[in-house]
Amino acid sequence: MIATDDAIELEAERLLKALLHVDCDPRHRTWNLDTCRSIAPLTLEINRLKREKDAVILAHSYVEPEIIYGVADFRGDSYFLSMKAKEARAKVIVFAGVVFMAETAKILSPDATVLVPDRGSGCSLADSLTGAQLRQLKALYPDAAVVCYINSTADVKAESDVCVTSGNVYHIVEHLPQRRILFVPDRLMGQNLRDELKRRGVDKEIITSDGTCMVHDQFGPADIAAARAQFPGLKVVSHPECTPEVAAVSDFVGSTGAMMKFVRATAAPYYLMLTECGLVGRLQVEDPEKNFIGGCRLCPYMKLNSLEKIRDALRAPTPEQIVTLDEDIRRRAARCIERMFQLAPTD
Ligand code: 13P
Ligand code: SF4
């Protein structure tokens, strides 16, 4: 069905209202009525296909703003989106994020058809460790509780006792009965965890594997010192995938959801967001009066998502776009994620 000119104009106006303040755009677009007119036929078609196919779209805050504000039903961090995936009653879930997130949705909603717009949307953390490698590590530390960050494959989750996200890692590990923790696959988050537990006076031995996030491991304390010298009163807000040196000199460290909450709740003349640029785009939309200085970085995997790929997946998914999992792995991975839901703080 071809959208009428009137429908396109109305849709372009709706998009412009949401996207007007996005300045941190990965494709350096200026968000005006013409830009919105050019994407309106696509967002109209996707929103119609969602109704026809009984589909929901979950979007991580790092994907492009026209996905987040044009077609997503839910937007947020990994924890929020995994809860939405679990609660979803739709026949189809499209996950605009990366493959491990879509796998997590399939683990939690096995009866839904879960679609990933681009099968190449990996993650340097999830891709750093296989289930077989984790089995070898476990053999070296048989008494350790195995804790996996959600940025991991379904195989790794199936081998783990409990899953965590950036928003609940400190709380969950602090309350595990075991002293020895095998934490995979993020070495830097593991070091931040070690430091935070020490600050809390909690005695744990944290053993890690060697993955890092190729986006967050790029920030250094020198970037922060230079920014603070140039922008007095600056608040530095970082993600726990950053190095411990960055975490140590940040004003706040937390999940992308918690980073947004901190900015909303904290008055400051400027903010430096040490994370993926999509989060800055979201803040520019939702907190347009605040000033964000440059410094964020792009995740090439998150940026593989596009409206065209989402439309194509909804129209007729290719086999590559459909997430399938071995049922035994799915069931064991589900146990590890359900344990996270039981142990996560409630607020
Ligand atoms: P959040 O769960 O904090 O959104 O983190 C996901 C992620 O991939 C960060 O790089
Ligand atoms: Fe993975 Fe880093 Fe991209 Fe997040 S930002 S999806 S951790 S590569």
Report the CATH number at residue 169.
3.40.50.10800
Please give the distance, rounded to the nearest whole angstrom, from the Cα atom of residue 165 to the centre of ligand 1.
8
- The CA-based angle 73-87-320, given to 5 degrees, is 70
d(CA 170, CA 165) in angstroms, rounded, equals 9
> Residues 140, 143, 146, CA angle at the centre, nearest 5°?
80
The mean pLDDT value for 215-226 works out to 97
Domain that holds residue 22: 5-124+302-321
Q: What is the pLDDT of residue 346?
A: 82
User: Rounded to the nearest whole angstrom, what is the distance from the C-alpha of residue 148 to the centroid of ligand 1?
Assistant: 14
Average pLDDT over residues 169-183: 98
Report the atom number in ligand 1 closest to the C-alpha of 151: 8
Residue 327 domain-assigned (yes or no)? no
Question: Strands of 271-274's sheet, edge to edge?
Answer: 252-253, 235-238, 271-274
CA distance 288 to 312: 33
The SS3 call for residue 174 is: helix
Condensed to tens digits (0 to 9), the pLDDT of residues 110-161 reads 999 999 999 999 999 999 999 999 999 999 999 999 999 999 999 999 999 9
Q: Of 213, 236, 251, which residue constitutes the final position of a domain?
A: 213
CA of residue 37 to ligand 1 center, whole Å: 31
In a domain, 341, yes or no: no
Residue 50's pLDDT band, with cuts at 50, 70 and 90, is: very high
- Which two tokens mark 1? 């069905």
Say if 221 falls within a structural domain: yes
Give the residue, by CA position, lying nearest to ligand 2 atom 8.
123
| pLDDT recorded at residue 347 | 67
| Ligand with an atom nearest the CA of residue 169 | 1
Lowest mean pLDDT segment, chosen from 4-8, 42-46, 245-249, 333-337:
4-8
Instruction: Return the structure tokens found at 336.
Output: 């590890």
Task: Please work out whether the CB of residue 159 comes within 6 Å of at least one atom of ligand 1.
Answer: no
Q: How far is the CA of 215 from the centre of ligand 1 (A)?
A: 11
Nearest ligand to residue 163 Cα: 1
Same domain membership, residue 62 and residue 109: yes
Q: Is 238 in the pocket of ligand 1 (CB under 6 A)?
A: no
**Model-level pTM?**
0.96
Residue 30 is predicted with a pLDDT of 92
- Taking only the tens place, the pLDDT of each residue in 288-303 is 999 999 889 999 999 9
